[in-house]
Amino acid sequence: METIIRKIDRENPGQEVLEEAGKILLNGGLVAFPTETVYGLGANALDEQAAEKTYAAKGRPSDNPLIVHIAEFTALKDIAEEIPREAEILAEKFWPGPLTMIFKKTELVPRGTTGGLDTVAVRMPSDKVALALIRAGGGYVSAPSANTSGRPSPTAAEHVEEDLGGKIEMILDAGRVDIGVESTIVDMTVQPPVILRPGAVTREMLEEAVGPVEVDKALISEDSKEPPKAPGMKYRHYAPKAELLILEGTTEECVKAIRQIAYEQERLGYRVGIIASEETFAFYTVGNIKNIGSRENEKTVAQNLYRVLREFDEEGVDYIYSEAFPEGGIGTAVMNRLGKAAGHHVLQAEVITRLQKYRTIVFVSNSDNCRAPIAAALLRRQPLLQEYDICSRGMVVLFSEPLNPRAEEILKEHGIVLKGYETLPLEAELMKEDALVLTMEDSQRDKIRNEYPETGHVYTLAEFVGGEEEIPSVYGQTPEQYENMYGLIEDYVKKLAKKLNEEAKS
């Protein structure tokens, strides 16, 4: 089947296209269309065969009911048997919008549409194209997300085309959707109402309108014995092809943990994707890093979530590591979907970070313009099993200088260029629990231990690797002595790498 793709203006949907699309629906065909949440796969909700086609196109298990989309409140009365007062209040407040309510169904709704259930899920979307299409298509349009079952929901028409091109009659393309995660589903057949799927309409918003609202237990605890009340929530939906792991904890811990695992997995030859935020993006060093949105504005994260997962699929990464995002507002929905995409594979960042004893390695010399930067440059070139921030500092640096020209020369002879290097003083902020501070001389070590008595890991490079001699300053001395100094540092640094790697393995 050839899928017709029609661009349509969200604010001013053209009548002709809508009529064409409406006819397809009235004739039992399938039309994908934008809603404010995600793209939906539309079919005539009162036509059992159209429902069958929907399940076939999506590859969706047929016990997973479809949501019926309406454009006027009065339409609800024809498909819902009992409409409690709370539902009227919620409809008044949140329709049109990202809220789906479940009612006892009337005879009018075929069981094909409701996955064999006696209940029907109903929503009135706010997108103008969606509303106009529902009217053109007879007033009752079933519309699950327009993706292949098991893939991330589509937030742009291209995603629909990827999954369903050639399998459906038409796609209406109005660009990116607004919200990016599916509607909130609330079961109105029970008292108090129960949230079966979190979305942009939050529990707080619902409770403010109608009083207490509960949350399906299966959503709260992942190992709940009871199956989720929305049949669709039991599937490993929204799944990317790569294995996805979520890291929980403070933002700083999460970044550390992700950097650590990403580094190790890349070393083993895997392709790693990282779901980062605007705030943390710049802190990552390896992997295919994607900025999903701002931690301060969870809406932006919701908007980009599925697109980012799809991109990782296309790019063929093996592992995806994601920071956990703040709950609250639509953050609850984001974490619900991310959790499902990860198959609830969540780890405390701290479990990972505490596996690594040292995280920062600081080499210290007098002025940070020769011995220390050489040591740092050489360690960076060693094959290290774990990732470290490797840097150098000086005991006395009153103002920044470039590298000593002799040091620059000798590094160059060994094929190393430190572009734009500037010396820096040793400062308290570097002296953390997980820092390993390595000095050139005994006197430097003693001075630092005096000044930072609470810092546990301060040694001379020589003593840390079991070497005999300090590394002396060769300032103003012969090229031969520079070469000897370089050779000594190189020898110690190789031993250091070996020691760090052995520690990493143990």
> How do strand 40-44 and strand 141-142 relate by DSSP bridges?
antiparallel
How buried is 197 (Cβ within 10 angstroms: 0-12 exposed, 13-18 middle, 19+ buried)? Answer: buried
Q: Is 336 in the site for Mg ion (CB under 5 A)?
A: no
Residue 101: strand pairing partners: 122, 186
Tokens coding 120: 């029907």
Provide, rounded to whole angstroms, the least separation between the CB of residue 21 and ligand AMP. Answer: 19
| Stretch 155-184: interaction string toward ligand AMP, x if CB under 6 A | ---------------------------x--
Rg (CA), the chain: 30
Name the residue nearer to Mg ion (CB basis): 238 or 492. Answer: 238
Q: Is 342 in the site for ligand AMP (CB under 6 A)?
A: no
Q: Name which position in 4, 26, 117, 215 contacts ligand AMP (CB under 6 A).
A: 117
CB contact burial 436-473 (16+ within 10 A = b; e otherwise)? bbbbbbeebbebbeeebeebebbbbbbebbebeebbeb
DSSP code for 390: E
Name the residue nearer to ligand AMP (CB basis): 121 or 488. Answer: 121
Name the residue nearer to Mg ion (CB basis): 145 or 202. Answer: 145
User: For 111, what's the count of Cα atoms within 13 Å in the CB-facing half-sphere?
Assistant: 4
| Stretch 180-209: interaction string toward ligand AMP, x if CB under 6 A | --x--x----------x-------------
> Residue of minimal CB distance from ligand AMP?
232
Quote the distance between the C-alpha of residue 494 and its chain's center. Answer: 37
Provide, rounded to whole angstroms, the least separation between the CB of residue 45 and ligand AMP. Answer: 11
Partner whose footprint covers residue 142, from ligand AMP, Mg ion, none (CB < 5 to 8 Å by kind): none
- Residue 243: enclosing H or E segment and its boundaries? strand 243-248
Name the residue nearer to ligand AMP (CB basis): 45 or 317. Answer: 45
Name the residue nearer to ligand AMP (CB basis): 126 or 455. Answer: 126
Number of residues that bind Mg ion (CB under 5 A): 1
Quote the distance between the C-alpha of residue 75 and its chain's center. Answer: 39
Contacts (Cβ under 8 Å, ≥6 apart) of 18: 8, 129, 132, 133, 136
Q: Name which position in 114, 145, 155, 439 contacts Mg ion (CB under 5 A).
A: 145
Q: Is 408 in the site for ligand AMP (CB under 6 A)?
A: no
Q: Which residue stretch of 137-145, 155-163, 252-260, 406-414 sits at the interface with Mg ion (rule: CB under 5 A)?
A: 137-145
CB contact burial 237-266 (16+ within 10 A = b; e otherwise)? bbbbbbebbbbbbebebbbbbbbbbbbbbb
Q: Which residue stretch of 60-68, 202-210, 280-288, 358-366 sits at the interface with ligand AMP (rule: CB under 6 A)?
A: 60-68
Name the residue nearer to ligand AMP (CB basis): 145 or 353. Answer: 145
Provide, rounded to whole angstroms, the least separation between the CB of residue 162 and Mg ion. Answer: 15
Residue that has been written with the tokens 């799944």 in this structure = 239
Quote the distance between the C-alpha of residue 250 and its chain's center. Answer: 15
Q: Name which position in 120, 244, 275, 370 contacts ligand AMP (CB under 6 A).
A: 120
Q: Which residue stretch of 16-24, 213-221, 228-236, 439-447 sits at the interface with ligand AMP (rule: CB under 6 A)?
A: 228-236
Q: Is 145 in the site for ligand AMP (CB under 6 A)?
A: yes
The backbone torsions φ and ψ at residue 161, rounded to the nearest 5 degrees and listed phi first, read -60, -45
Name the residue nearer to ligand AMP (CB basis): 342 or 390. Answer: 342
Provide, rounded to whole angstroms, the least separation between the CB of residue 153 and Mg ion. Answer: 5
Provide, rounded to whole angstroms, the least separation between the CB of residue 144 and Mg ion. Answer: 5
Name the residue nearer to ligand AMP (CB basis): 14 or 231. Answer: 231
Provide, rounded to whole angstroms, the least separation between the CB of residue 158 and Mg ion. Answer: 17
Provide, rounded to whole angstroms, the least separation between the CB of residue 232 and ligand AMP. Answer: 2
Q: Which residue stretch of 71-79, 231-239, 434-442, 462-470 sits at the interface with ligand AMP (rule: CB under 6 A)?
A: 231-239
Residue that has been written with the tokens 């237990």 in this structure = 217
Distance, in Å, from the CA atom of 442 to the CA atom of 137, rounded to the nearest integer, reads: 83
Provide, rounded to whole angstroms, the least separation between the CB of residue 287 and ligand AMP. Answer: 31
Q: Is 231 in the site for ligand AMP (CB under 6 A)?
A: yes
CA distances to 23, 44, 52 from 112, rounded to whole Å, are 21, 11, 7
284 Rama sector, left if φ>0, alpha if ψ -120 to 50, beta otherwise: beta
What DSSP string describes 212-235?
A: --EE-HHHH-TT-SSPPSSGGGGS
Tokens coding 123: 């929503």
The residues of the shown chain that bind Mg ion, judged by CB under 5 A, are: 145
The residues of the shown chain that bind ligand AMP, judged by CB under 6 A, are: 64-67, 102, 114, 117, 119-121, 144-145, 182, 185, 196, 229-233
